[in-house]
């Protein structure tokens, strides 16, 4: 077999898999809506505000409830204790006593 | 096949022969290249899926949460304030929330204890998240002692383990009746942890928040929009770990391209001269170089992206587990729903394929256009 | 016939003093004959052949091809004299590919690939049917006794075998003119005689042959119709 035939066949197969991947993603996204129901129930009934991603500390477990001081509340010069600190950015919103930001951004 | 197409295939044949001449080196290059694409694509897929999940789930979160601050720290809120806030125009409902953290000394996990007034909850019973069940090695109908700060233990029976599919929000939850929460934490009767406020018209939220702050200057209202923005910032590219990974990846791409861009060796130039003496035009030589660059970069891109997809959505991003887990003892298990971003896939494609192909093509430009005689003499 | 009129080739790029390799050569080379170019190294014979073979352009002067480029540029009248010095690159390349077959002194085979692929290289840009071309290449290699080495890498061939691969490659597009630069330089007497034998076959097939050599086996051969002696870039004598 010519080398170019093999190369084009392999690339074609990869491209086909790529398209299959896109199709799979779309199908999964639709199925995901159903899978999400139990979580949505809990969020609504309990009034939850955060995802349970990092359970190391209060401000990593509930980053939406934390403020800029939260990470340093134990000590004024405290450095970030946890690896998750490098994954979580500090909250975007301003200090507690300033007025809240005016506009509610739309999701994409 | 019409001649023009056959020409492309012929030159592709030679490009492949050319690459196979240094099989080991090119295979290694392809592997590392694909690996770099794999890491970036895995990160992109993971982060996008997580952010998407956060957006979808937190849509049902309270419109506003009001906290009370003392000396910059979160402090419990008097229930009386709930009444006053309820009276503000535009507020539909105010629900005091009672929750806190419990540290399990046996297994070292941090749990979130929350009060719920669900009718199905039996007396002296708790509902626990699947993560709690795993960490404390318990299951339904087991008895679990929880110890308060006074040293007294209370025995609870596990009535229900929450669904595993909801782990992303409930992995570390322990749900119990409000009186049990107050007993466990010695939480005063007139206080709540914070307030969940629902507004009749979401557009009025900023106004309501301003009024609350006016009413109680030590309060901190958190709007749902801010909640969502927090999760947009999770895994932000400016975060420490992400910067390191992305910088390494960009550096790798630069190194690959550099190797090619520093020009052709004398041997390569002579070979181009030979090809031209055999009747290859400059365009043919450039096509050859284009194929050489594209075969490697496109294969690396496709295989890297496909492996990344499988890694994140079929194997739950197991390679990232250690980084994500951090120092957590209790770690949620969840299967993410793909949320592919065409924009980012396209950007990654251009980042992967263009620089490498250009770096292979551009240095050959001069050599390809020089007279064959001159090329062979040099 | 190939006609050269006052052809000059000067190399200037990157050199302290310009070097004139070919200094005003006027020559008429007959078709279907063997012309040998003789002279010491540095006399400009190789440069002259690269100019004729469309691999470089002369600094000044003209080169005309009469009736040899019919295949390469079919839209031209076959009897017309084609002036190649001012042709655009695309046409020059087409002529280089179809009309001329060059056998280099150093063979210039592409290392690391097979014998067959080396021979097929000149055909890749033409987009001809790969099966037909391969059949042609295999037949040519068989006639040169290289059938066993078709898929072997050229790195493993002996000098004589490598040259025969170079010959096969030069002939793959069935050119009208064959140019060989010092072909017997690396060969012993027996192989040199074999080489001349091959040349006589090509001459009988009507091909024009141009060979540079300072080997008496070549320039004293009966096969040689013309011997052109060169020195310092000029033609000193023609016989």
pLDDT of residue A106: 62
Question: Given B12, B110, B213, which is nearest A97 (Cβ)?
Answer: B213
pLDDT band, residue A78 (cuts 50/70/90): low
Provide CATH code, domain B99-186: 2.40.40.20
Contact check, Cβ <8 Å, B54/A63: no
pLDDT of residue A68: 65
**pLDDT of B58-112, one tens digit each?**
999 999 999 998 887 888 999 999 999 999 989 999 999 999 999 988 888 889 9
Residue B333: closest C-alpha in chain A: A53
Q: Do A7 and B175 touch (CB under 8 A)?
A: no
Q: Where are the alpha helices (DSSP H) in C41-111?
A: 45-52, 89-98
Q: How many CB pairs under 8 A join B and C?
A: 89
Residue of chain A nearest B131, judged by CA positions? A52
What is the ipTM, given to two decimal places? 0.87
Chain-chain contact of A55 with B110 (C-beta, under 8 angstroms): yes
- Calpha distance A11→B297 (Å, rounded): 11
C-alpha to C-alpha distance for C208 and B47, rounded to whole angstroms: 71
Asked if B274 lies within 8 A of C57 by C-beta distance, the reply is no
Pairwise CB contact (< 8 Å): B373 & C56:
yes
**Quick one: DSSP state of residue C61?**
E
Q: Check: CB of residue B352 under 8 Å from CB of residue B308.
A: no
- Give yes or no for B374 touching C (CB within 8 A): yes
Q: For every one of its 239 residues, what pLDDT tens digit does chain C have, with 9 covering 90 and above?
A: 888 888 888 887 667 788 888 888 898 888 888 999 988 887 888 889 888 888 888 888 888 888 776 666 666 665 667 788 888 888 888 888 888 999 988 888 998 899 999 999 999 988 888 899 999 999 999 988 888 888 888 888 888 889 999 999 999 988 999 999 988 887 888 888 888 888 898 888 889 999 998 888 888 888 888 898 988 888 888 87
What pLDDT sits at residue B10?
A: 92
Q: Is C93 on the interface with B (CB under 8 A)?
A: yes
Measured distance CA(B323)–CA(B221) in Å, rounded? 32
Contacts of B7 in chain C (CB under 8 A): 124-127
Separation of alpha carbons B181 and B165, rounded Å: 26
- Chain B closest CA to A20's CA: distance in Å? 10
Q: Is B211 helix (H, G, I), strand (E, B) or coil?
A: helix
Distance, in angstroms, between B290 CA and closest chain C CA?
15
Residues 6+ apart with CB under 8 A from C231: C39, C40, C43
Closest-CA distance, B15 to chain C, in angstroms, reads: 11
Query: What pLDDT shows up at residue A90?
Result: 62
Nearest CA in chain B to C110: B271
- B271–C110 CB contact, under 8 Å: yes
Q: Do B114 and A38 touch (CB under 8 A)?
A: no
Q: Is the predicted pLDDT of residue B57 greater than 60, yes or no?
A: yes
pTM, two decimals, is: 0.84
**pLDDT at residue A95, as a whole number:** 45
Residue A82: count other Cβ atoms within 10 Å of its Cβ. 17
Return the H-helix or E-strand segment holding C11.
Answer: strand C2-11
Q: Which residues contact A12 (CB under 8 A, 6 or more apart)?
A: none
Q: Where are the domains of chain B?
A: 3-57+230-377, 99-186
CB contact under 8 A, A58 and B101: yes
Is C125's CB within 8 Å of B271's CB? no
Order across the sheet with B143-147: list the strands. Answer: B99-104, B109-115, B173-176, B125-128, B153-161, B143-147
Residues 32-91 of C with CB under 8 A from B: 47, 50, 53, 55-57, 89-90
Which of B26, B270, B273, B279 to probe by mutation at the C interface, max C CB count within 10 Å? B279
């Amino acid at each position: 077999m010519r080398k170019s035939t093999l190369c084009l066949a392999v690339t074609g197969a990869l491209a086909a898999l790529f398209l299959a991947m896109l199709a799979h993603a779309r199908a999964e996204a639709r199925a995901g809506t159903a899978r999400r129901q139990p979580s949505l129930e809990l969020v609504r009934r309990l009034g939850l505000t955060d995802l349970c991603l990092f359970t190391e500390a209060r401000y990593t477990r509930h980053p939406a409830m934390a403020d800029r001081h939260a990470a340093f509340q134990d000590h004024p010069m405290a450095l970030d204790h946890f690896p998750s600190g490098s994954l979580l950015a500090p909250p975007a919103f301003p200090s507690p006593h300033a007025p809240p930001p005016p506009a509610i951004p739309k999701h994409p | 096949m019409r001649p023009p197409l056959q020409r492309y295939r012929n030159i592709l044949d030679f490009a492949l022969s050319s690459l196979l001449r240094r099989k080991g080196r090119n295979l290694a290059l392809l592997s590392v290249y694909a690996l770099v694409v794999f890491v970036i694509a895995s990160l992109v897929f993971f982060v996008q899926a997580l952010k998407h999940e956060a957006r979808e789930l937190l849509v049902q979160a309270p419109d506003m949460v009001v906290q009370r601050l003392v000396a910059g720290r979160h402090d419990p809120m008097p229930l009386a304030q709930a009444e006053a806030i309820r009276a503000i125009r535009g507020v539909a409902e105010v629900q005091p929330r009672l929750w806190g953290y419990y540290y399990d000394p046996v297994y070292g996990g941090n749990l979130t204890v929350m009060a719920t007034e669900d009718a199905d909850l039996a007396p002296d019973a708790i509902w626990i998240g699947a993560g709690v069940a795993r960490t404390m090695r318990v299951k339904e109908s087991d008895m679990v002692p929880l110890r308060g700060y006074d040293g007294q233990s209370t025995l609870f029976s596990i009535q229900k383990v929450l669904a595993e599919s909801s782990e992303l929000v409930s992995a570390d939850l322990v749900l119990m009746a409000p009186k049990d929460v107050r007993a466990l934490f010695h939480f005063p009767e007139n206080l709540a942890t914070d307030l969940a406020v629902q507004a009749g018209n979401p557009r009025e939220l900023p106004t309501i928040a301003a009024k609350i702050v006016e009413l109680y200057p030590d309060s901190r209202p958190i709007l749902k929009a801010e909640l969502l923005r927090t999760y947009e910032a999770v895994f932000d590219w400016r975060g420490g770990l992400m910067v390191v990974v992305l910088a390494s990846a960009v550096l790798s791409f630069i190194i690959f391209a550099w190797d090619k861009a520093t020009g052709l060796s004398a041997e390569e130039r002579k070979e181009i001269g030979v090809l031209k003496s055999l009747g290859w035009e400059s365009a043919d030589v450039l096509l050859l170089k284009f194929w050489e660059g594209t075969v490697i970069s496109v294969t690396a891109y496709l295989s890297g992206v496909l492996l990344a997809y499988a890694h994140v959505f079929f194997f739950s991003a197991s390679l990232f587990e250690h980084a994500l887990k951090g120092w957590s003892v209790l770690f949620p298990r969840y299967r993410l729903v793909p949320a592919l971003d065409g924009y980012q896939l396209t950007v990654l494609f251009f980042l992967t394929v263009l620089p490498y192909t250009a770096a292979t093509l551009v240095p050959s430009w001069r050599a390809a256009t020089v007279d064959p005689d001159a090329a062979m003499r040099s | 016939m190939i006609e050269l009129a006052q052809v000059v080739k000067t190399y200037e790029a990157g050199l302290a003093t310009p070097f004139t390799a070919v200094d005003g050569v006027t020559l008429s080379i007959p078709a279907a004959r063997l012309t040998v170019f003789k002279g010491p190294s540095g006399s400009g014979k190789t440069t002259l052949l690269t100019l004729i073979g469309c691999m470089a352009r002369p600094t000044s002067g003209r080169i005309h091809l009469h009736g040899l480029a019919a295949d390469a540029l079919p839209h031209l009248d076959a009897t017309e004299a084609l002036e190649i010095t001012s042709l655009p690159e695309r046409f020059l390349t087409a002529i280089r590919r179809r009309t001329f077959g060059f056998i280099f002194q150093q063979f210039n085979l592409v290392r690391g690939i097979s014998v067959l692929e080396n021979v097929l290289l000149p055909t890749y840009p033409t987009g001809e049917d790969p099966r037909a071309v391969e059949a042609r290449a295999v037949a040519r290699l068989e006639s040169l006794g290289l059938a066993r080495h078709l898929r072997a890498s050229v790195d493993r061939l002996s000098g004589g075998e490598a040259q025969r691969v170079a010959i096969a490659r030069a002939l793959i597009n069935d050119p009208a003119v064959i140019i060989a630069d010092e072909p017997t330089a690396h060969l012993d007497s027996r192989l040199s005689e074999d080489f001349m034998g091959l040349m006589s076959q090509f001459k009988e097939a009507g091909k024009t042959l141009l060979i540079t050599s300072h080997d008496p086996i070549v320039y004293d051969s009966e096969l040689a119709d013309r011997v052109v002696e060169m020195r310092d870039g000029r033609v000193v004598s023609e016989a």
